[in-house]
Structure 1
Amino acid sequence: MTGSVVLWDFDGTLAFRDGRWRGSLVEALDEVAPGQGVVAADVRPGLRDGFPWHRPETGHPDLNSPDAWWDALQPLFVKAYVGAGVDDRRAALAAGRVRAHYTDVSRWTVFPDSLAALEELAEAGWLHVIVSNHVPELDGLLRDLGLDRHFAAVVNSALVGWEKPHPRIFEAALDRAGRPERVWMVGDNPVADIAGAQALGIPGILVTPGRDDGLRPAVRRILNERGLPEISPEGL
């Protein structure tokens, strides 16, 4: 692909969903039962464990289709609703609508400096690859948000079957990138993004988009460290 590649996290790094997962559950419930009165804080406890990325040491190659991936999450959503006081019938109905609400592109926002960061690095010769723990519809979200043209490849845990920080998803990203000579990982999660990449010898940059300088520190660091040592196959 190229000698210089930046691996990017997506959610929380380049863009975010208003209300996140708990917001999508509340929206789905309001569709089924308007005026239910359940708020994001009510469903939050039930979502603290049960997503694939909560068990990154365990692969899920069996969830190899979007429907299978979402079907596996239905019990989690129902549990969150029931824990918030919703009856079983309404909980099941709302759980079936979470997918449509979570992937509604109108609820997603690209951080103000994301495009500028991607374009500045691209002008300097860096190619971009997404490495994300996400839903199967990530490619569609990137397209609808106008971000897809900036990326040479998208490595999505829902399709790869492994979650960050597991080495296998990073290995998949390096393979898709053509085993480049120079690689950076940029993300907002110190464990999934940074520690996961560093375990394979990939330097990582922790960012806080939407606050302070956003992605500017990452761009400056990547552009200023032109002498970054090449990553040898033995280090991977």
Structure 2
Amino acid sequence: MTGSVVLWDFDGTLAFRAGRWRGSLVEALEEVAPGHGVVGADVRPGLRDGFPWHRPESGHPELGTPDAWWDALQPLFVKAYVGAGVDARLAARAARGVRARYTDARRWTVFPDSVAALEELAAAGWLHVVVSNHVPELDGLLHDLGLDGYFTAVVNSSLVGWEKPHRRIFEIALERAGRPERVWMVGDNPVADVAGARAVGIPGILVRAGQDGQDDGLRPAVQRILKERGLPDISPEGL
């Protein structure tokens, strides 16, 4: 075993993409049909089911390459477009451009308190690992956003074949973190991040989920980790 590790969610915890997935679809459609009139709310209903993380109980090792992962999502994007009234042939053309739009680092923003939180915990001896339900290009995004140097490992659902809250992705994270003596999970999703981690014995902290939609930031999580130090009993036998 080794040291103390914080497992971090990425999207919605450390950074966010303007417009999220629906924004990416609208932007991709604009590339092939300028002035189309479709807005994010139009495609949103078609995106509510169909991503791998909507079926976390099932692994998807067959999608373990970037091209395979994105190819599997093309029908979902086409369905969302068609549901918004876009012609099927035009929808297919636009769907092929979603990948480039979503992974454009210029559309991503690091939350103002993310770097400070990572640095404060690192100074106190904590290592950082990303555990995220995300696209295959996550490593590139972390690099382009200037965050990659803070993490000793990145556990990405699209590449390991399991989605949070499935226990397997957390087991992989612990393996890659070197079976730490102390570990916390920090994320913005009460099910995928907090409940999923707790199911395998990892204490979880919910962030950016304040009342009335207010962002409560990462400061409370940092203070709790520094105060409580995490749990010292994470081991292969406990999983």
The match for 2:138 is 138
The two structures have a TM-score, normalised by structure 2, of 0.96
SS in 2 for 1:62: helix
Tell me how large the CA RMSD over aligned residues is.
1.3
Match of 1:230 among 226, 233, 238: 233
Contact 1:165 1:196 (8 Å CA) reproduced? yes
- The answer to whether 1:220 aligns with 2:220 is no
**1:211 CA drift (Å):** 3.8
Instruction: Provide the C-alpha distance between the structure 2 equivalents of 1:213 and 1:90, rounded to a whole number of angstroms.
Output: 41
Instruction: Provide the C-alpha distance between the structure 2 equivalents of 1:223 and 1:155, rounded to a whole number of angstroms.
Output: 24
Distance 1:213 1:47, change over 3 A: closer
The match for 2:29 is 29
Instruction: Provide the C-alpha distance between the structure 1 equivalents of 2:154 and 2:71, rounded to a whole number of angstroms.
Output: 23
- The answer to whether 1:120 aligns with 2:120 is yes
**CA-to-aligned-CA distance 1:177-218 (integer Å, 9 cap, x gap):** 010010000000000000000000000000007944400000
**1:86 CA drift (Å):** 0.1
What amino acid does structure 2 have at the position aligned with 1:20? R
Instruction: Provide the C-alpha distance between the structure 2 equivalents of 1:149 and 1:26, rounded to a whole number of angstroms.
Output: 32
**1:89 CA drift (Å):** 1.0
**1:139 CA drift (Å):** 0.2
Contact 2:202 2:231 (8 Å CA) reproduced? no
Distance 1:228 1:64, change over 3 A: closer
Contact 1:2 1:127 (8 Å CA) reproduced? no
The match for 1:48 is 48
The match for 1:95 is 95
Instruction: Provide the C-alpha distance between the structure 2 equivalents of 1:70 and 1:227, rounded to a whole number of angstroms.
Output: 37
Of the structure 1 ranges 52-61 and 212-221, higher mean CA displacement relative to structure 2 is found in 212-221
Instruction: Provide the C-alpha distance between the structure 2 equivalents of 1:228 and 1:53, rounded to a whole number of angstroms.
Output: 28
**CA-to-aligned-CA distance 1:129-172 (integer Å, 9 cap, x gap):** 00000000000000000000000000000000000000110000
Instruction: Provide the C-alpha distance between the structure 1 equivalents of 2:112 and 2:50, rounded to a whole number of angstroms.
Output: 31
SS in 1 for 2:62: coil
The match for 1:154 is 154
Contact 2:70 2:99 (8 Å CA) reproduced? yes
Unaligned runs of 5+ in 1: none
Contact 2:203 2:231 (8 Å CA) reproduced? no
SS in 1 for 2:63: coil
Instruction: Provide the C-alpha distance between the structure 2 equivalents of 1:207 and 1:2, rounded to a whole number of angstroms.
Output: 26
**CA-to-aligned-CA distance 1:52-97 (integer Å, 9 cap, x gap):** 0000001100012100000000000000000000001110000000
Percent sequence identity over aligned pairs: 85
The match for 1:10 is 10
